[in-house]
Amino acid sequence: MSETLENLYSETRTFPPPAELAANANVTAEAYREAEEDRLGFWAQQALRLSWAKPWEQVLDWSNAPFAKWFVGGELNIAYNCVDRHVEAGHGDKVAIHWEGEPGDTRAITYADLLTSVSQAANTLTELGVTAGDRVAIYLPMIPEAAVAMLACARIGALHSVVFGGFSVDALATRIQDADAKLVITADGGYRRGKPSALKPTVDEAVAQCPSIEHVLVVRRTGEDIAWGEKDLWWHETVEQASDKHEARAFDSEHPLFILYTSGTTGKPKGILHTTGGFLTQVSYTHHAVFDLKPESDVYWCTADIGWVTGHSYIVYGPLSNGATQVMYEGTPDTPHRGRFWEIVDKYKVSILYTAPTLIRTMMKWGDDIPAKYDLSSLRILGSVGEPINPEAWMWYREHVGHDNAPIVDTWWQTETGAMMISPLPGVTASKPGSAMTPLPGVSADVVNDEAESVPDGGGGFLVLREPWPSMLRGIWGDEQRFKDTYWSRFGKGAGAGDEWVYFAGDGAKRDEDGALWLLGRVDDVMLVSGHNISTTEVESALVSHPSVAEAAVVGATDPTTGQAIVAFTIPRGNVDTSGDAGEQLIQDLRNHVAKKLGPIAKPRQIMLVAELPKTRSGKIMRRLLKDVAENRSLGDVTTLQDSAVMDLISSGMQAGKSED
């Protein structure tokens, strides 16, 4: 990418917060002013929302940059903050988790229940020889034991490394080996798409390659037959029989909390390391501020999987530290029917919903009539995370889910940032559809050119973070050099330019005429067409703005005339006729539609109509694989792909219909 990224799309709609919400918001515009005047003082104030066993002496130690220390000298226990203190405050009977299994079985878990289970699990882990600093791999479905296991590790100072249930033997084994984990916590299986889906056989195969594993702790979920080895222990025969008395001892603010592997687009997965005090401070504050959480009345639901950072920060640590009541759902959105999500919102009167653009676009594809069948009036705030949300998907979310008045918070952040960084505040910000708007109080994000200079309003470039933040990653497990190279060597001091350390997020972005930020996707995906740097996001959003399109993925394929040419893979909405001539006509209409919205430079060379797109388990489109298809190469690494059959379908379609002009 050369100096800047083209800014092709312009958006004029804005939606101010509803007056009543603004009047009662947890956080007002004052927070931006306070943080602006005294950033460290602001974060120290937020840290006081937690319960510390020993106060800190220094808010930030940045002398060993890019390795940060936050709340230096302070001590706290994370599980105590997420569980015990709510029980001590008299909220033991309050529901922490309304769990909904895919087959329709349910459990209501109070904070007192959670304290019992976490204490029992902490005692069991200790009996199994797990001590502070040890690593524990967690490979579980979306069942309450996943949260219990994470909190039990945190309680005794062991690091958890959660691996998506559904990752392959190899993916699990390499993560166990890299972290040198002692224990795996898993289940016989979970329910997905209406049937039991086994997990234990994958663990058995992985553990056979991992001599570091001493024990495998197995939750019984499906009751299916499984093989049983000498390292295996049932959860119900150990944890559920253990003493429920466990004293939570305090750990240093910089004590490691967890490792979470992120694959990025290429290469060996990186074990992103997070620590205790700063992480909890920022997840807790952002959950309170961005969702305006009122713990006494709100019902919160984050649809993420626990194996994604969103599940760590915004199912476990953020909501529980704030004493929230939340919904946790085991299964898929279309089991047993496509209204399942809305049925759950209606049933539990969910008031805050946090989901991903991929789900919103899927719901768009399935049709407006489905959410219309349910009472969604309890919803008062809607969140989005994981990818840029196309303006049209944003509008659909607002109209069909948020009854035209619930504010949408589009939250930009990463596994590496640990917590939200750029997002509207629901009681303050007048939001634009598709924009994450502005950095949160205490966060300094910028859009820069190659020389790390801020681009003017209306310009595009690289998204960077100029100041350290409490929940920032503390490194890559076992690889200091890779940490510096990946995030700190592109701009600023680490690049030999100036005195300031500048974090490069790997994303492209633009700042519009009003100073609002628009995320434009990974810079690796930027297309270079006849000398113009065009973001995949803008072309995808232009396609999704056509009434016949639900979802689109765009890649730059090598082209003899233009360097790269735009190739689009497009999912039509449910009711659209794509057979024969109608399909050909639609493709021409779409090409013209993009040219009209963004200018002729962005007109796709080729458009494929497809039924599905390749996605990761967290719902991100894997453009790299589509590029392989568009350039007629054999497919690269597919280990993080959610459904491998999708690629066969797309490749065969690509061979059949090469429509260009």
Start-to-end CA span in the chain (Å): 27
Residue 386 within binding range of ligand 6R9, rule CB under 6 A: yes
Burial group, residue 451, by CB count within 10 angstroms (0-12, 13-18, 19+): exposed
CA dihedral defined by 638, 643, 645, 650, rounded to 10 degrees?
-80
Question: Is 435 a binder of ligand 6R9 (CB under 6 A)?
Answer: no
In the bound state with ligand 6R9, the residue whose beta carbon lies nearer, of 346 and 507, is 507
Measured from the CB atom, the residue of 157 and 386 that comes closer to ligand 6R9 is 386
Dump the DSSP string for 467-532. Answer: S--TT---EETT-HHHHIIIIISSSBGGGTSSSSB-EEEEEEEEE-TTS-EEEEEEGGG-EEETTE
What is the identity of the amino acid at 554? Answer: V
In terms of CB distance, is 22 or 309 closer to ligand 6R9?
309
Residue 265 interacts with ligand 6R9 (CB under 6 A)? no
**Which residues, 122 to 141, sit near ligand 6R9 by CB under 6 A?**
none
* 505, 549, 602, 654: residue in contact with ligand 6R9 (rule CB under 6 A): 505
x-or-dash string of contact with ligand 6R9, 510-539, rule CB under 6 A:
---------x--x-----------------
Q: Which of 251, 317, 394, 412 binds ligand 6R9 (CB under 6 A)?
A: 412
Give CA 63 to chain center in angstroms.
30
The answer to whether 243 and 119 are in contact (CB under 8 A) is: yes
Compute the distance between CA of residue 112 and CA of residue 355 in angstroms, rounded to an integer.
28
By CB under 6 A, residue 60 contacts ligand 6R9: no
Please calculate the CA angle 333-550-355 and round it to the nearest 5 degrees.
40
Q: Is 386 annotated as a binding residue?
A: yes
The torsion of the CA quartet 207, 306, 419, 262, rounded to 10 degrees, works out to 40
The smaller minimum CB distance to ligand 6R9, of residues 217 and 552, is found at: 552
Give the per-residue contact string, 602-621, with ligand 6R9 (x = CB under 6 A; - = no).
----------------x---
| Three-class DSSP category at 330 | coil
Report helix angle 623-630 to 645-656, nearest 10. 30
| Among the listed residues 411, 535, 541, 606, the single contact to ligand 6R9 using CB under 6 A | 411
- Nearer to ligand 6R9 by C-beta: 206 or 437? 437
CB of 357 vs ligand 6R9, minimal distance in Å: 8
**Closer by beta carbon to ligand 6R9, 123 or else 545:** 545
For the bound state, the minimum distance from the C-beta of residue 41 to ligand 6R9, rounded and expressed in Å, comes to 27
Q: Is 268 annotated as a binding residue?
A: no
Handedness of CA 374, 377, 383, 387 (dihedral sign): positive
Report d(CA 302, CA 315) in Å as an integer.
6
Q: Is 648 marked as binding a ligand?
A: no
| CB of 371 or CB of 506, closer to ligand 6R9 | 506
Q: Can you tell me which residue has the tokens 């599980």?
A: 79
Q: Which residues pair with 492 in a beta bridge?
A: 501
556 marked as part of a ligand binding site:
no
Interface of this chain with ligand 6R9, residues 388 to 407, rule: CB under 6 A: 388
Is 549 known as a binding-site position? yes
The only residue of 414, 486, 562, 651 in contact with ligand 6R9, by rule CB under 6 A: 414
Binds ligand 6R9 (CB under 6 A): choice among 385, 428, 452, 549: 385
Q: Minimum distance between the CB of residue 643 and ligand 6R9, rounded to whole angstroms?
A: 18
> Could you tell me if 183 and 128 are in contact, meaning their C-beta atoms sit under 8 angstroms apart?
yes
Helix (H, G, I), strand (E, B) or coil at 485: helix
Q: Is residue 509 within the footprint of ligand 6R9 (CB under 6 A)?
A: no
- Quickly list H helices, 215-269: 235-238
- 415 contributes a contact to ligand 6R9 by CB under 6 A: yes
Q: Among 300, 413, 462, 501, indicate the residue that binds ligand 6R9 (CB under 6 A).
A: 413
The answer to whether 154 contacts ligand 6R9 (rule: CB under 6 A) is no
* Distance from C-alpha of 628 to C-alpha of 267, rounded to nearest angstrom: 16
CB-side exposure of 236: number of CA atoms within 13 Å? 6
Residue 547 among known ligand-binding residues: no
Sign (positive/negative) of CA torsion 48, 53, 58, 59? negative
127 is in an annotated binding site: no
The helix or strand, by DSSP H or E, that contains position 185, with its residue range, turns out to be: strand 183-187
296-325: which residues touch ligand 6R9 (CB under 6 A)?
A: 308-310
CB 291 within 8 Å of CB 318 = no
Binding residues for ATP: 386-388, 410-415, 507, 522
Binding residues for CoA: 192-195, 310, 530
Residues of this chain that bind ligand 6R9 (CB under 6 A): 262, 308-310, 384-388, 410-415, 436, 505-507, 519, 522, 618
